[in-house]
Structure 1
């Protein structure tokens, strides 16, 4: 496992004592109580975090020549003056339209050492350039090994590049989750406050990245019933009890165990409202609304069938059509049990109610709905290859109307 820094390289400013030479002005950087006086914050992070390699991102106008000289001196290596001058002169004559292969950065890469790379990117002025940059940055993953840790420096270069790099790496983190590549830190050197503090604090913005994980987790739970990411994040904060409750609810939803869904939703309603951990406290109202949708309503007439119907509607809304059909069919059977004072948990009673729907009272509205949906339900449950059933698109199209009609019939307490 290696620890790799990804750092953006800017154009710097002209040296007032030598206007033909660009420079990053030396600054005192402070991180974790330790001070470093350096030109490049990447150098500070490399030493302080004891990293194994660096990946520099920059344009054809970035200060590649200064990075080469600076890292040579820091590592006690001899500066190749010819290479330095040639690199500097080449960069002076380039612009945003120059091809990315206009400069040779092989010697800089050699100085930076193993597991290091220099990647040239466009300015990002047009959508086509942003797409090209996206392709370049995503290729960073190809240089990494499973289990590597990434540290990101967004201090220099275009502000747009820093934002772009941050968002792309969020994308890469999800896209390449199987690689187990961890974003361990996102650093920014606050050069803006040097005059006030007499040093530039280096702050870790990883909490912003973590917030995107909370948002993604809340979305997954609200729309798909998958609370596993939220559960993992809560565990990382030490809230094992709430994490376990959300995981159990997710499991129950995904396997469609109705009694467990009711139980876990009821328990979580209280737990979520009492939890004040950050940033979960900013999401709990959204999650509370979601859990309310899956909570039983004790004052409702025929509560069990209506709960199943509500659950089927939620599955349909979130495009889990197979589970919606299965739950809707079972809701109808439960409803017939309830209005006939039968035990909806008893298998024989449920079979008797099916006969009412399919044989003795086939002309009733609810019976007609059941007769239409039950073959679809059976085909889904048995993963049938029966080609005679209606097309999947028609089954999806009709589901919403079946739910609405069933809901209206349930209000009558009749068939």
Structure 2
């Protein structure tokens, strides 16, 4: 372990901002732990269905405030993409080469998930597993992919949106919500909300792009975003009827996340402010080689962790279900029982280490798909004088 820590420390470029990697790692861990804590698989009459403890225990809504961290990922993503595109242009690389390199790192591991789960789904159906169970598990595994599709679309649009002020997409979200919730319109009004899938996540993405232009240097920006975002979100929840949960809750009439609402966006801005304020403390902590090694290792497999964390939870749940049937134990509390009490919450926390162990196995098996091959260096454009010399030759 010490050799690994020394290797990572020596391989890290001196000018790398380790705090950005830490923010990305925290965002991924937030999503993973959030899903593990607010998602339940219930064995019911020979089938498995999904449920959420937030339906039965609304007092645990603050869990969604802590672990719904996608805005931070889009913030860092906008910063890194804008910087990377500017550096690519300075090297005279084509847009196609830059985009291919970035999207390749996103979608190579996606292919592995799709192939594995296609085979698993077909095998379950062939083995007589009810369609409802296959649908529940498939939806649980594949639903996080919407995030990657949105992130990929914003990445592709980086040259167009890199200089867009975050207030513009925020204004779009505001007006869409005014129409959705303020007017008694026809059915198409609800569908109008899907505009916010792009506009809502464009807000932190554009904020990250502004950061790349040194537009967020002052810590006052962090405090303004944090205090203003928290205050606005509280007002929207208390007086405008927005849900308090920042994730979808089964049976709720409105979800803050599907599609994103104004409350989700303002809460995301508060998280972005907190992220900016954490930069200096994170930089101090990550001067320690061991702390930095942990962050670096997680970032090297970030997409694998994100894509396989639901599979890890499903594997442990399925194993527990089979063990319960063999032992005549019935449903294990916190694993595949109804999430309707504090006992379920405590038991679920106790299951988390097993979920993590299963995820480590998945990472060991599929991490190689995230590495991929090193993209070939794009040919640089020749300067006019060099082209003239070539023609003479």
Global fold match (TM > 0.5): no
Query: Higher helix share goes to which structure?
Result: 2
Based on CA coordinates, which of the two structures has the bigger radius of gyration? 1
TM-score if structure 1 supplies the norm length? 0.22
TM-score if structure 2 supplies the norm length? 0.23
The higher relative CO (CA closer than 8 Å, separation ≥ 6) is in 2
Query: Higher strand share goes to which structure?
Result: 1
